[in-house]
Amino acid sequence: MPALSRADTSLFGRWWWSVDRWTLIAIATLIGFGYVMMLAASPAVAERIGASRDMFILKQVVFLSIAGLIVVAVSLLSPRGVRRLALAGCAMALIMTAATLVIGPHIKGATRWIALPGLSVQPSEFLKPCFAVTTAWLMAEGKRPGNFPGMLITFGLFGIIAVLLKFQPDMGMLAVLTAVLLIQLFLVGLPLWLIGIFTSLIGAAGVTAYFVIEHFHRRVQGFLCFRTADVANKLDAATATDATDCYQIRRALEAFGNGGLLGTGPGEGFVKDKLPDAHADFVFAVMGEEFGFVLCLVLIGIFMFIVLRGLLRLLGEADLFVVLAATGLVSSFGLQAFVNMASTLHLIPTKGMTLPFVSYGGSSVMAVAFGMGMLLALTRRGHTAELA
């Protein structure tokens, strides 16, 4: 492909010289990690469920290829285009998330998916990027003259989403969306005492959920009693379904210990033969065992680079919508990565949240791709001329 000149005024030419190419390279690297980890982790999982060894690999190749195209296509948009896409996406994801409560299959104690021919879609995954941009627009509009009730609509939208996620239930997703909202409220200038009250209410809701929601109670209880003799005994029982989370965490921690500094080598690990979600929620454990502590640090460094790079690109940004939206997107991305890796390392209760671009999952990969495409679009240099 011929080199692009800075004088090139075509759509692609203007995009190439204005987009954050370092973040683009980091995203491409994560997609590369995704390919490698599917080759390492998924064949054993596929065999265990009686499917073809290549089933998950072939699907994820398609998902990641489409995700790469989505990142580039969405990053071509102007901030106005990003806003329109997010508003439409938020409305559609909200309707489909509500539909899961009616027509969604019951899987692992939750109803989060809509079954389609050949795949299952988790609509709430798309709420993460779309919610961040939508609330950013509402808050920014609320700050303009005209008495637009942006803050009121924001809290109303959050309340609707919170109720839907509670009934699924998906408390991890709700926690991420709540954290994103709190960060945006802080940036928009809401008094700290109000944020403190809001945080206290969320804490009270979490305590209530522990006593009221069985699924949430089991996850927290498994985290708290992980090292007790009772759990250890349950882990040895073949029918210990209540100890599934503890079992997976124990095997994951053993995998990190087996991997050591440089890992056992590609294909030489054993944890993928024992964990039912080795290709998805616990793919970080497979990486720790087969590729070692060093490569895990490299992966963590890539996630940190994307988050910090996204925030640094906002320095000097004058448009409040862009600041709030980009901060929400990068915060959601970083929090999702943190939740996955922290739960694998038993730092927080287990949560069925994927590692962005690395874990298996079509809905997650596509949703993260939309979010990263929006981030690249909003942080392009010279976008202010396209705001209107």
Nearest to 14 by CA among 383, 384, 311, 378: 383
Predicted pLDDT of residue 230: 45
Tokens of 199: 């945080």
Neighbours of 147 (CB within 10 A): 7
Tokens of 299: 């992966």
CA dist 269 → 33, 278, 383 (Å) = 17, 11, 47
The H or E element that residue 119 is part of is strand 119-121
Predicted pLDDT of residue 291: 92
Maximal CA-CA distance, the chain: 69
Predicted pLDDT of residue 8: 64
Q: Classify 266 as helix, strand or coil.
A: coil
Predicted pLDDT of residue 4: 63
First to last CA, the chain: 33
For the chain (388 residues), the mean pLDDT of every run of 10, in chain order, is 61 84 95 90 82 85 93 94 95 92 76 76 91 96 87 94 87 88 89 79 75 70 57 42 65 88 85 81 90 94 96 91 96 94 85 87 91 95 55
Rg (CA), the chain: 21
Neighbours of 7 (CB within 10 A): 7
The H or E element that residue 114 is part of is strand 114-116
Question: Distance between CA atoms of 156 and 175, rounded to whole angstroms?
Answer: 17
User: In the structure, how many helices (H) and strands (E) does the chain have?
Assistant: 14, 2
Predicted pLDDT of residue 239: 36
- Beta bridge mates, 115: 120
Question: Distance between CA atoms of 283 and 38, rounded to whole angstroms?
Answer: 9
Non-local (6+) Cβ contacts of 15 within 8 A are: 75, 76, 380
Question: Distance between CA atoms of 67 and 33, rounded to whole angstroms?
Answer: 14
Nearest to 367 by CA among 5, 85, 151: 85
How wide is the angle at C-alpha 345 spanned by C-alphas 342 and 348, nearest 5°? 50
Nearest to 328 by CA among 196, 165, 198, 138: 138
Neighbours of 319 (CB within 10 A): 16
The whole-model pTM stands at 0.88
b/e sequence 282-304, b meaning 16+ C-beta within 10 Å = bbbbbbbbbbbeebbeebeebbe
Predicted pLDDT of residue 3: 59
Question: Distance between CA atoms of 324 and 183, rounded to whole angstroms?
Answer: 9
